[in-house]
A and B are shown apart, each in its own frame.
Chain A
Amino acid sequence: MTVRKEKAERLADEELMPLIGEKDPEAFEVFYDRHGGVAYSLAYRIVGEKAAAEDVTQEAFISIWKSGARFDRARGSVRSWMLSIVRNRAIDALRSRAGKAPKLTFDDDAILEQRPSEALTEEEAMRNETASELRGALGELPGEQSKVIELAYFGGFSQSEISRMLGVPLGTVKGRMRLGLEKIRGELAEGLA
């Protein structure tokens, strides 16, 4: 089954997934156009190299193409599911590169400088604004909380590894993770005011 691209563009992600599960390339093209940017950005944020980020993004999307029918909407949004796949593959790529240390701050100035100035859609621009607000919320976290979250989510380190790296008790790492996520959640509940 194949739908026209114009029709696919009007469908929500959750409606695209069954079509992707039926191997509809038009539906998948719409899906890629919606999420390829954030997927590549996340991959680059984690692996720190454009070529590796391209590989991660390609592998993740092909994986989704081949497993689209397995998406379970009860476990969250399509976008979150897709980003978790990208994140996991990026962490795998990071771990496979011996001696490559992850970036440890939320400072994305270097990435900003490399961003092409054109070709951002209005939707992407809005998402950029949201991303900027989210970065602001993350930036307001106490340093010790943002660091453990950074090391875990973007660096792929376990809580035990983080405990050893930072020289703090495991319980402290657990507590910082929890407090950090709760603070972000609280900011979101307040509308990032």
Chain B
Amino acid sequence: MTETSHERWSEDVAAYMLGALEPEQAAELERHAEGCERCREEIRWLTPALDALPESVERIEPPRELRSRVMAEVRADAGPADAPAAAGLFGRASSWLRELGSGPMGLRPVAGVAVAVLVVAAVAGFAIGGGIGSDEGGATSTVVAGKAPGITAKMVSEGDSGTLHLDNVEQLPSDRVLQAWVQRDGEVEPVEALFVPDRQGQASTELPDMEDVEVVMVTKEPSGGSATPTGEPLISIAVQ
């Protein structure tokens, strides 16, 4: 490494560390520094000064709700505490669903229970009746807004999979998550991924296998999720 080359880049070391170089310049400097011990030494020397900048900021206490939201999302992502088990458990879920008066085409709100019933309607070649996603063109579903408690939902399909977007979902305590369920041929199955609403009350989850699905539901569950639904659904969507 020539002295001239080092001096050329040495001028930019401070700007590089402060994030003030354009991305291409930063990449060039990094390539140069790989072969320039003097530049690396300068970076090492100045690193404590850079580290001091964020540490110098006046501390303010983050809201407790922020911690709750972060940990709820973390626990949801950590996976079910009680892993999905026997089909019998799903059979119990199916019974639970029947108690709510649901069926492939007959889902309806339970009297006195704030259940939003949504109907996914056909749009632009989106095939319904054979199950969401039977259209390989990756069509988009549409949504009818739910009833109480004011949650609205949107389902987007891509091939055999889909995404469920919820809005106006109330904040959850840190030990609760949202879990989606699908019903196929009368049997209720959990969707693996758990999710939580963000600060704006929006929540989304992937529905990786929507073939032959008749009903989609979302419930509140303990952190880590459940093998069978433990509460009444926030929403139920009958897929016609």
Q: Across the two chains, which residue of chain B brings its CB closest to A42?
A: B54
- For the complex, give the distance between the alpha carbons of A108 and B54 in Å: 13
Q: Are B49 and A44 in contact (CB under 8 A)?
A: no
- For A29, the chain B residues whose CB sits under 8 A away are 71, 74
Chain A residue contacts of B47, Cβ below 8 A: 76, 80
User: Which residues in chain B, 7-50, are within 8 Å of chain A measured between CB atoms?
Assistant: 11-15, 17-22, 45-50
Residues of B within 8 A of A (CB-CB), count: 43
- Which residues of the other chain, A, contact B3 by a CB distance below 8 angstroms? none
**A124 to B78 Cα, complex, angstroms:** 29
Interface pick from B55-63, B99-107, B132-140: B55-63
Render A147-159 as a binary contact track against B, CB cut-off 8 A, 1 for contact: 0010011101111
Give the bracket for the number of chain A residues in contact with chain B. 35 or more
A181 touches B17 (CB 8 A): yes
B52 touches A41 (CB 8 A): no
Instruction: Looking at the assembled complex, report how far the CB atom of B176 sits from the nearest CB atom of chain A, in whole angstroms.
Output: 14
| A88: chain B residues within 8 A (beta carbon) | 19
Assess whether A36 is in contact with B66, with CB atoms less than 8 Å apart: yes
CB-CB contacts below 8 Å: A117-147 with B: 119-120, 124, 127-128, 130-131, 134-135, 137-138
Take A159-B20, A181-B18, A181-B46 as given contacts and tell me if A112 and B62 are in contact as well, using a CB distance cutoff of 8 Å: no
Cα of A32 to Cα of B67 in the assembled complex, Å: 8
Closest Cβ of chain A to B131, distance in Å, is: 31
Most A CB within 10 A of own CB, among B46, B53, B54, B56: B54
Is A25 engaged at the interface, CB distance under 8 Å to the other chain? yes
A contact residues around B62 at 8 Å (CB): 36-37, 39-41, 54, 57
| A158 surroundings in chain B (CB, below 8 A) | 20-22
**Residues of B close to A89: CB separation below 8 A:** none
* B18-A149 in contact (CB<8A): yes
Q: A54 near B77 (CB under 8 angstroms)?
A: no
Instruction: Report if B82 contacts A (CB, 8 A).
Output: no
A38 in contact with B57 given A25-B78, A137-B52 (CB within 8 Å): yes
Q: Is the CB of B70 within 8 A of A182?
A: no
Q: Given that A28-B74, A178-B14 are contacting pairs, would A116 and B49 also be in contact in the complex, using a CB cutoff of 8 Å?
A: no
User: Which chain A residues have a beta carbon within 8 Å of chain B's beta carbons?
Assistant: 23-25, 28-29, 32-33, 36-42, 44-45, 50-51, 54-55, 57-58, 61-62, 65-66, 76-77, 80, 83, 86-88, 91, 106, 108, 111-112, 114-116, 119-120, 124, 127-128, 130-131, 134-135, 137-138, 149, 152-154, 156-160, 162, 171, 173-174, 177-178, 180-182, 184-185, 188
Q: Which residues of B pack against A, CB within 8 Å?
A: 11-15, 17-22, 45-63, 66-67, 69-71, 73-75, 77-79, 198-199
23 cross-chain CB contacts under 8 A: A23-B79, A28-B71, A32-B70, A32-B71, A37-B62, A38-B54, A38-B57, A39-B62, A42-B57, A50-B63, A54-B199, A58-B69, A88-B19, A111-B60, A114-B60, A115-B61, A119-B61, A124-B59, A134-B55, A138-B53, A159-B12, A177-B14, A185-B49
